[in-house]
Amino acid sequence: MAAVLNRLEELLKKKGIGPEGSKSLKADELAEVQVLFTDNSYSLTTRATLLTALLMLPPSEAEATWLKHFLPTYADQLPAALHFMVTHTEAQTPMEKYLCKTLSGMDLSYDEAFNAMTLLLKDPSVPDFQKGAFLEAQRLKRESFDENKAFFDVLWHATTRVQTNVPVLIDICDNYDGFTRHHNLAPFFAAAIAACGYPCLVHGTDEVAPKFGVSSNSVLKACGYQYKNPINATDKLHDPEIGWAYVGQADFTPALYRLKTVRKEMVKRPFLATFEKMMQPVQAINGNHLLTGFTHAHYRTEVAEQLKAQQKIAAALVIKGMEGSSCPPLNRETIQVTVTNNTILDQQISPSDFLPETHNQLPAKTTDAETTAALGLAALNGEENEAFYQIIYYVSMALTGFGFEKKNVIPRKVEELLRSGNVLAHFNKGLL
């Protein structure tokens, strides 16, 4: 369920979207901001993040006028802890200096970005408001390739990774903040992929900002699964009667999990959301086959290029999917980017490539884990609902995209596995 925003968070949500989608604050809203900046009942992280947006984004006429009067008197208008963000000369610690350089619109070098991310994750002396402001400043500046490579590397080294000797592991890497307009069917996709003979991993967290949507964890919980720890994940992946497993971020990247409060109070989505899902917490011999998604073209390029440069995967399919996930829409064609360690290839995919008929798929005003679980379980029991066809499409897309199955064979195979109860059996055994 989406978090209820306080007034300062509402203003930040309006202003801090990004360089291409941000809305200007009106004069009366700016007057509110000026008062709220000194109100200690509001999170310092939220105040620092909003200050970052006001300093970095192109101002409207009203904002330019407000800044003209605000900046000369910043010492009276801001908490002392935030003063260095305006002057930059008062920055003393390495993290403060990295933040100020980013606020100035300058890219960090690889080493600087690596050090900044290490401090953000591991140094308890770095206050949360500096973490939030840095993440927002990077977002608004737009991270460079070298910065993103450094951020990815730090997260990779901070992850506890279990190596497994399965030759192929399909890894569903969807956003951890979940779905709010469509059904999150990832656990059911995983069971169907496993029923086809390919081990499949799902991972995530209970809930996280900014969407606080329906996560894989919450869907599994609604199905009666109580996740406790990852110790038996590899056993499940090796078991031909199960073949799928779920693991939680708190176990494999706990330092990142501990940033949940910062991420809530900064309101907007940081680069962490792009990379946290690609950490391969359980990894096959030659790297995993990743299924991930994107919404904006910039992220398509960044994700594909980073995965290719990192040389840590067997292959990846990057889909322009629903809500930025790897799940393609049932009612229209979309983009599939195939990434290997050597190549990046774009192509169009369509439901008609795998399904004989078109199917409606309209966004819901709201969705919840219980409704999603009921829909998915009904499909696994053979009911021809939206989830039934989505499972056939998704699994067929994945297995043909990776070159494991033939397009004229796999849709029928998945359908038969659904109707026979085979997928349901894999799913239920994985819940134990």
Q: Is the pLDDT of residue 327 over 90?
A: yes
pLDDT of residue 2: 59
Closest CA to 37 of 92, 87, 75: 75
Residue 74 pLDDT level (bands cut at 50, 70, 90): very high
User: Which pTM was predicted?
Assistant: 0.95
Cα gap 163→100, rounded to integer Å: 40
| Closest C-alpha among 298, 300, 289 to residue 340 | 289
Q: How many helices (H) and strands (E) are present in the chain, helices listed first?
A: 22, 9
- Domain limits of the chain? 7-157, 162-431
| Residue range 162-431 in CATH 1.10.10.10 | no
Give the model's pLDDT for residue 4: 76
Report d(CA 27, CA 87) in Å as an integer. 24
**pLDDT value, residue 359:** 80
Q: What is the rounded CA–CA span in Å between residue 107 and residue 156?
A: 21
pLDDT band at 17 (very low <50, low <70, confident <90, very high): low
